[in-house]
A and B are shown apart, each in its own frame.
Chain A
Amino acid sequence: MIVTTLILGLVLGGTYALLALGLTLQYGIARIMNLAYGELTLIAAFGLVALFQQAGISPLLSLLVLPVLGYGLGWILYQGMMRPLVARSDGTGRLEVDSILATFGLLFLIQGLLLLAFGANFTSISYLDRGVSILGVSVALNRLIAFGICVLSGGALVWALNRTTWGLRMRAVALTPGSAPLVGIDVNRIARQGFAIGTALACVAGASISMYQTFSATGGVIFTMKALVIVIMGGVGNVPGALIAGLALGLLETFVATAIDPGLTLAATFTIFLAVLLWRPQGLFGARS
């Protein structure tokens, strides 16, 4: 029983961690609080299903292609929508309010387009839905693949941020966007890359989730909500923090759903969020400012 909860919780947590990675990059590096994040993941989810059902393209192939398209979409969104706001705010707190409202508008825009294109019904495909036994617990293969993708992309990101010059630039912009130009960093370019990579990761998460979970055009808000809670728990811009917090949230939700009531998982998420805000608003792994 405990082993089952642990394994299922870790697998669910992997999805959440993957979901939060992109958001923590977008907010940590590009400083855009993206409330339309869940809708971006849904674009990839619907994209994968449409490619699979209509063109017969293997979801595993889509998993490689969709993030590339996502990178492009993120690039365009940042350049077309966020960059003017960044320029207008001129380093003041105005950017936060503007980006919240603009991405809030983007949320409805994407949601409306998805509703028009795919309707309001729940969508699902079952791809590679075979049980695989791990320590005596049967886990669906597609969930394991999603967990693997999470570990891979999370690990690669942590390595790139900490071990490469490119990562050093990213971290410099995340830490002090005002001083980064002094050492010759093009802040605009790095922020754009951060936002675009965040969007690409959103697509990775959306595409992996669509392989095993039912979803609908109006469900993006819940994805955004969970990703936000994980980002705050892990500390804004903190990639390892987001990974650990995501896994923790998955474990907690699975525990609450099996031991208490599945209807209370969101309440559990919020309780944790409230606790983090009260005791460690800088995140479980962030340094006190």
Chain B
Amino acid sequence: MMRIILPLAGLVLLALLPLWLSDYGLGLMVGAATYVTLASAWALFSGHTHYVSLATVAFYGIGAYTVAVLNEVLPYPLVLMVAGAMGAGLALIVGLSTLRLKGVYFVIFSFGLAELIRQLITWYEVNVTGTLGRYIFLEITTAGIYWQMLGLGALTLALTAWIHRNRLGLALRVIGDDEAVAAHSGIHLARVKLIAFVLSAVILTLAGAITSPRYVYVEPSIVFNPTVSFLTVIMALLGGANRLCGPMLGAVPLFLLFEWLSAHFPDSYPIFLGLMFIAVVFVLPNGVIAGVETLRHKLREARS
């Protein structure tokens, strides 16, 4: 019972925050909620399967761009649905062509996907519609965006928790451990991977769509900023991508840290990001949560 009440109470508390926070504080909260959602959605697919996706911003950007194109044509809920469908469509194309193969092909493809889509949209806008750059005028307050993102984040965590407990989660774990074993125990590899990838992609796309009104002015080079993909990966890995709360634990401190770094040390930002990646791979290969558990285990053994 407590397992359900505690998270719900936390969610209510978080939802009440806009009553007290300043505009700047609320902006930070939106950012943190966005990265918690992105990192959790990323981990939903990549956490167990170890298929490292570097294409987060491809989906995020598509979500934002869909809103930019359709915000004056369709009612807002319908725009969100179209965005989700676009994300699912792209994930199906990418997944069907690469997830049947070894993981490395998927990584390589996802590595260039955001750049490809950015160039395609730029080309289309310049040559066909003749408008590079669009405006989003929606009557949505920052608090409104925050509540939507909070809802999406909570939904992602709930979905992850549910998947961890059912057959899909088990299948994903077996695939991550050993694909040959998974295939021999009757798991339909490509289908399981595809389902998880599409689910994760839809959430990533929705996250992009929901935050897009904060940009006001949208251009391919703004919404397809590759740093978003890299931050998402490092956040999920730092916390522990195969744990329910791992991505969240990694996302909040790293978001605040990078926010501070980009304000004070914009030049050495990539160096820090790089060192962070290397440190996580060498020191905390399974994330902070697993690291703490191993440490505790060792201490207990040392004592007895």
Contact = CB atoms under 8 A, between A and B. Distances in A.
Q: Please say whether chains A and B are actual partners in one complex.
A: yes
A96 B49 CA distance: 13
Interface residues of A, number: 43
By size class, the interface of chain B is 35 or more
A167 interface: no
B281 A85 contact: yes
B105 A232 contact: yes
B250 to A, nearest CB: 14
A160 to B, nearest CB: 26
A33 B270 contact: no
B141 interface: no
Contacts of A35: 111
Contacts of A251: none
B256 interface: no
A206 B276 CA distance: 27
A281 B123 contact: no
Contacts of B98: 277
Contacts of A221: 111, 115, 226
A93 B50 CA distance: 10
A113 B271 contact: yes
Contact of A106 (B127, B269, B274): B274
Interface stretch (A144-152, A191-199, A262-270): A262-270
A109 interface: yes
B111 A108 contact: no
B155 interface: no
B144 interface: no
Interface in A99-129: 100-102, 104-113, 115-116
Nearest to A102: B281
Contact of A267 (B116, B267, B269, B281): B116
Question: Chain B contact residues: over half helix, strand or loop, or mixed?
Answer: helix
B122 to A, nearest CB: 7
B304 to A, nearest CB: 27
B270 A112 contact: yes
A77 B98 CA distance: 30
Question: Chain A contact residues: over half helix, strand or loop, or mixed?
Answer: helix
A245 B251 CA distance: 41
B281 A263 contact: no
A109 B275 contact: yes
A261 interface: yes
A108 B52 contact: no
B268 interface: yes
B270 to A, nearest CB: 3
B230 interface: yes
B268 A112 contact: yes
Contact of B103 (A96, A229, A266): A96
Contacts of B281: 85, 98, 101-102, 105
Q: Which 7 A-B pairs have the closest CB atoms?
A: A105-B277, A108-B274, A109-B274, A112-B271, A112-B270, A105-B278, A263-B123
13 contacts: A98-B281, A100-B52, A104-B277, A105-B281, A108-B230, A108-B277, A109-B275, A112-B270, A116-B268, A228-B108, A232-B105, A263-B127, A277-B98
Given A101-B281, A109-B271, A273-B109, 5 more contacts: A104-B233, A105-B279, A225-B115, A229-B108, A270-B116
